[in-house]
Structures are given as structure tokens and as C-alpha cells.
Amino acid sequence: MFRRLHEADGKAVRLTVDGRPVAAREGDSVAAALLAAGIVVCRTTPVSGAARAPYCMMGACFECLVTIDGRGNRQACLVRAEPGMAVATQVGKRELGR
């Protein structure tokens, strides 16, 4: 669905999403990395369970919530992808203490 612009290069950053390796580029937000890897559903909503994807990419809409390094409800568009980062798509509500 999303393709990187050819001029966008940079060092490779390896992270995992739900335990699977995903290749990102230095400077990517986690949300950009997810979309570039073809992972469009990043979570389901806490009440109705509807699927959600990154939307505004600028911190306003809170649609791109994921679990990052064990902490839930992080805004993927506001967190820079780092080597070794463990990202998990989120099913429903976050847990207290996660």
C-alpha cells in the first residue's frame, strides 16, 4: 500500500513487530515503519474492537496506539524507530502496568 520514495534512504534500523523482524530506516517514526512494512492495522479499539491504523501522523488523532517495549498506548507516530525496539500491535485496551 505504501512505498518509500526512492530518495529516502538512510541507515537500516531493525525492530520487531509482534516478534517478527521488520526493517525500518533511520529517522522513521514507528508508525511510518509499520506502514512501510505493510502493517496497516496497528490496534483494535477498546470498546467495539474495530480495527485502527495510523492516520494523522502528527500526534493529534491517537489512532496509531501500539505497545512499545512493553508499554501500551504509545503514539507510534511520535516515537522514533530505534534498533532492537519491540513493537506490539494492540488488541483492545492496554493493561495496567503495561
Partner 1 sequence: MAGSERRDYDLAVIGGGLVGSAIAWGAARRGQRVAVLDEGDLAYRASRGNFALVWVQSKGLGMPEYAAWTKRSSDAWGGFADELRAATGYDVAFERPGGFHLCLSETELETRAAVLRRLHNQPHMVQYPYEILDHDALAKRLPEIGPAVMGASYCPLDGHCNSLRLLKALHAGMKSEGAAYLANRSVEYLERRAGEFSITSASGELRAGKVLLAAGNGNARLAAMVGLKAPVRPQRGQIIVTEKVRRFLDYPIATLRQTDEGSVLIGDSVEEAGFDDTVGLGVLSTMAARAVRMFPRLAALNVVRTWAALRVMTKDGFPIYDRSESAPGAFVATCHSGVTLAAGHALFLAPMLAAGALAPELAVFSARRFDVSQAA
Which positions touch partner 1 (CB under 8 A)? 46-47, 71, 73, 92-97
5 or 96, CB closer to partner 1? 96
Question: HEC states along 28-93?
Answer: CEHHHHHHHCCCCCCEECCCCCCEECCCCCCCCCCCCEEEECCEEEEEHHHCECCCCCEEECEECC
Find the shortest distance in angstroms from Cβ 8 to partner 1: 31
Find the shortest distance in angstroms from Cβ 17 to partner 1: 21
Find the shortest distance in angstroms from Cβ 65 to partner 1: 9
